[in-house]
Structure 1
Amino acid sequence: MSENILKISGLKVAYGGIKAVKGVDLEVNKGELVTLIGANGAGKTTTLKAITGTLPSCKVEGTISYLGQPLKGARSFKLVEQKLAMVPEGRGVFTRMTIHENLLMGAYTRRDQAGIDADIDKWYTVFPRLKERDGQLAGTLSGGEQQMLAMARALMCHPTLLLLDEPSMGLAPIMVEKIFEVIRDVSKQGITILLVEQNARLALQAANRGYVMDSGAITMSGKAEDMLHDPRVQAAYLGE
């Protein structure tokens, strides 16, 4: 039986009279790479923010469990201590800190300095551009370099669950290719991932399972490979 890492049941999010999420059920099991795809404004980012408790003032209903424990009301910074990390849409790097300092912030819950140093070296090997710019302020990096940094920073806490929100947004094709290569490699290392992504083809090619979200509701779910060949998904999201 699969070990449940994340389970969302009946999630509803409303901003005043606007219902952004309408009763979503979703689960992610240990070691899976699950993707949530859909058009802009479908409610994907709102769903991730509901998981991490980073929504602005709004009405949230339903249950969200992480490792069998309810997340509702948990302070977002406490989630990192529970090894739940998120790479937000727009990267969210600390622009006035150096690359090295950003990586150290990702490891702020850890006390094993030798392990932290080893992990920084590891991610510098994966992302050589970051090593070259170690002392550079993060705000001066290109969008693709900031995305590399945001991913490496999140991975510094050794997450049990990694949430990725639109990692390919606004990046050049060659950078998108690199980011997805890293996502696949991280998944192979056994880290459980929930990926929100507009590039449905790349997301489904990388994932084990997928969910389609439309107008705040889950309209389809299944094995990612099957969804890649589903005529409805192809017509709506793959341009075929």
Structure 2
Amino acid sequence: MTDSVLKISGLKVAYGGIKAVKGIDLEVNQGELVTLIGANGAGKTTTLKAITGTLPSGKVEGDIAYLGKSLTGITPFKLIHQRLAMVPEGRGVFTRMSIHENLMMGAFIREDKAGIEADIEKWFSVFPRLKERSAQLAGTLSGGEQQMLAMARALMSHPKLLLLDEPSMGLSPIMVEKIFEVIRNVSKEGVTILLVEQNAKLALQAAHRGYVMDSGLITISGEAKALLNDPKVQAAYLGE
């Protein structure tokens, strides 16, 4: 795992006089599942939005390199053509489209019709609830079902890097378990993942490496297993 997929150097994000991210370095290598954990307001989501160029306002400094090339100035919608996909906080499904149409939108850059249909069947087998409701409008689904759909839609693009922003937020414990099972399996298939998550224990149990973010700074980083056993991490984020 030495090939860098994402490399962030000296990232700073400010909204007026408020410094949300204060100069962080972070790297995700080929095939890794890396998690960014921290309390609410630590700057985790802002970091993801800086990567994807989707900050509505705010001054961004530093360098963000994806597959060795800077993302500075790249229009967000072009990222999917470079096989970078994000499942945003709040899911962001197309509410007035059916489940099947949402999945097709995830594959809009692809032209292999047989492969697209095979992938839809694959995700229907992973998430049987979606198959049962394939013609249903996405806006009528429960939060957990929308999260399933958002993940499947992103994976339809065959991403080289998958960004996940708080996938467990607002879900029932049984649904959280299912979502993390899928995250682990997708990682085992070789998809490179950067996971932002408030459930630090689940995130570190699934990840190879982790970064702890606090007040806009990376305060601790290392192997996920080591972070799980770090007294500071346990006290602050694991309730131990």
Short-chain TM bin: over 0.9
Q: CA deviation at 1:57?
A: 1.6
Deviation digits for residues 126-161 of structure 1 (CA, Å, limit 9, x no counterpart): 000000000000000000000000000000000000
Cα distance between partner residues in 2 of 1:173 and 1:153: 22
* 3-state SS in 1 of match to 2:78: helix
TM-score normalised over the length of structure 2:
0.99
Show CA shifts across 1:21-47 (max 9, x none): 000100000000000000000000000
Aligned-pair CA distance for 1:221: 0.1
CA offset at residue 218 of structure 1? 0.3
Tell me the SS of whatever aligns to 1:56.
coil
Give 5+ residue unaligned stretches, structure 2: none
Q: Which residue of 2 aligns with 1:180?
A: 180
CA distance in 1, matches of 2:57, 2:45: 15
Q: Secondary structure in 2 aligned to 1:62?
A: strand
Deviation at 1:20, TM superposition (A): 0.3
1:155-201 Cα deviation digits (max 9, x unpaired): 00000000000000000000000000000000000000000000000
- Matching residue's letter, 1:53: G
Residue identity opposite 1:124 in structure 2: F
Give distance in 2, aligned partners of 1:182 and 1:57: 33
CA offsets, 1:32-75, max 9 Å, x none?
00000000000000000000000012100000000000001111
**CA–CA distance in 2 between the matches of 1:187 and 1:57?**
32
Residue number in structure 2 paired with 1:197: 197
TM-score w.r.t. length of structure 1: 0.99
SS at match of 1:182: helix
Partner of 2:157, secondary structure, is coil
Residue matched to 1:127: 127
Answer yes or no: is 1:155 the counterpart of 2:186.
Answer: no
In structure 1, how many angstroms separate the alpha carbons of the residues matched to 2:53 and 2:109?
Answer: 19
**Which residue number in structure 1 is paired with residue 55 of structure 2?**
55
CA distance in 2, matches of 1:228, 1:154: 29
Structure 1 stretches of at least 4 aligned residues deviating more than 6 Å after TM superposition: none
Q: 5 Å matches for 1:89-108?
A: 89-108=89-108
In 2, distance between residues paired with 1:181 and 1:118? 21
Q: CA RMSD in A?
A: 0.5
Paired with 2:148 and 2:196, the residues of 1 have a C-alpha distance of: 17
Cα deviation for residue 215 of structure 1 reads 0.2
Letter in 2 for 1:60: V
CA distance in structure 2 between the partners assigned to 1:70 and 1:98 by the alignment: 36
User: Residue type matched to 2:122 in 1?
Assistant: K
- The aligned length equals 240
Give the share of equivalent positions with the same residue, in percent. Answer: 81
2:27 is paired with a residue whose SS is strand
CA–CA distance in 2 between the matches of 1:101 and 1:217? 40
